[in-house]
Amino acid sequence: MNLARLDRTLFFAATSGVLLAAAFPRPNLFWLAWVALVPLLLVMRRRPFAAGFTAGGVFFAIVLYWLNFVMITYGGLSFPFAVLAYLFLVVYLASYIGLATWLSSRLEVTFKLPFLLTLPFIWVALEYLRGVMFTGFPWALIGYSQQDFSLAIQSCDVTGVYGVSFILIVVNCAVAGMIAAPKSRLAWLGAVVALGISISHFGYGFWRESQPLDEQTDHLRVSLIQGNIDQMQKWDPEYRQTSIDIYHDLSLLALENRPELVIWPEAATPFYLQDRSQFATQVRKLPPKLNAFLLVGSPAYEQLAADNYRYFNSAYLFSPSGLEMGRSDKRHLVPFGEYVPLGDLLGFVDKLVVGVGDFSSGQVRSLPLDGHALGVLICYEAIFPQLARDYIRNGSDLLVNLTNDAWFGRTSAPYQLLAMTRFRAIENRVWIARAANTGVSALIAPSGNVVISGPIFEALELTGSVGLGAGETFYTRFGDLFAYICIGISAVFLFALLLAKKWQKFPLVCRERSLL
């Protein structure tokens, strides 16, 4: 391929997208994230928005490739429509990175501010906004790439995942500055600033790592039941008894490990557990056999009128005597998966999930467990930091993530979702028990380390001990304060640009010489 015939700016931008994608599961080369954006930073001056958009487009296209599998295999979409929906999402997400690089370049041209002083704040601000706008989709924030670099992610109990994203952008900017102008005092100053931030960041991580793994005084034996129920059979009425038998037998198998809490995954019962059917009765009779609490994912409903119902994606907790202790409903639903946004206008759009009607959103409702409380995050609720924080502030001593990752098949998506879930443990310094239908089931320590996990697409039970109680972290108390600060600083940047008289003179395509 003749590089001279290509747009060099977009070529190097695309290279950054590939490198950044490789930092995520899988292949999970997390160290690449520290330099992945350097090619983009060296060339984006010439085409600020297009360069960032290209890098983001390549990145999200690679990381979210599995969406095509979900939409075609389980959503029933034809290949062309699935690809169209996939590309629409990629374009939307890439626009955030394009906007970040455009604003940072604009600030450099207008006020001579180096990228190091602007891009980290703008990047974090836009990552946060991506996680809340249009119901939010904070999948694959750059900070999540560091899931296996423990020293780099311990600061999440102060800044959340956004602090990790911030330092990654700082380091990338400093490296790019040194490559572009190795003799520049400004470049060396940037390197010193990046080094100072890194030392404090990793120093905090080292200190946290030196603390005891488990500071809780109360512990609980937990068994995770991974039924490995095929998604194509899951909602088949003829397969209900087989599903119950699988979970029943695996739960009894866990008895030799003497669990105090047995956890089944999301929608483990393909029927309404609240109905007094023969299937529901079998489930309710199990806790006395186990002499343990039983947490079960199940659909639920509430009757509002004769022919008017509300449906929920829920979890029920039963005591060792079989008494129902409470129900927790999923709060953050999957757009077009569990409900259709703007249903009156988009009623013609079918949901991508094979389930029961449109689900309704629930409320924060911790479940009582022998003097303690469980906070239940269902499926991809685990990627929303605020939801986990709400449960901890509501008194939860243990977070439980029930999920059905069968939708993803043997793609990288189950590992990406597990990676993001680990950050919820660090942010609140709390244990997380994760039960997944097809995996990855795991116990996650307050340090974010996966203490025990199993393979995907195997029926199994995993038993281990977890601590009860959450740490009093800065993040739990103040939430995404760091992200808000970044938003505030970015707003100041934007306001300054709006006041600058040169605003109309800055084209989308700058004519300045790129550095590569």
Which residue out of 108, 127, 266, 427 is catalytically annotated?
266
Provide the 8-state DSSP code for 13: H
Strand order in the sheet with 218-226: 324-329, 308-318, 293-305, 261-263, 218-226, 460-468
The tokens of 294 are what?
């039983």
Q: Which residues contact 429 (CB under 8 A, 6 or more apart)?
A: 157, 446, 470, 471, 473, 476
End-to-end Cα, the chain, rounded Å? 18
Selecting among 379, 461, 486, 510, the annotated active-site residue is 379
| Helix ranges restricted to H, 437-473 | none
486 part of the active site? no
Rounded Cα gap, residues 434 and 314, in angstroms: 15
Query: Which two tokens mark 163?
Result: 């602090």
Cα(433)–Cα(402) distance, rounded to whole angstroms?
Answer: 8
d(CA 210, CA 215) in angstroms, rounded, equals: 12
Dist CA 100 CA 165 (whole Å): 13
Token pair 């747009």 is found at 7
SS3 helix, strand, coil % of the chain, rounded to 5? 50, 15, 35
Active site residue 379: yes
Quote the strand ranges of 379-484, DSSP E: 398-403, 432-436, 442-444, 450-453, 460-468
Cβ atoms of 394 and 364 within 8 Å: the answer is yes
* Residue 330 is among the residues annotated as catalytic for this protein: yes
Structure tokens at 276: 């007094």
Active site residue ranges: 266, 330, 379
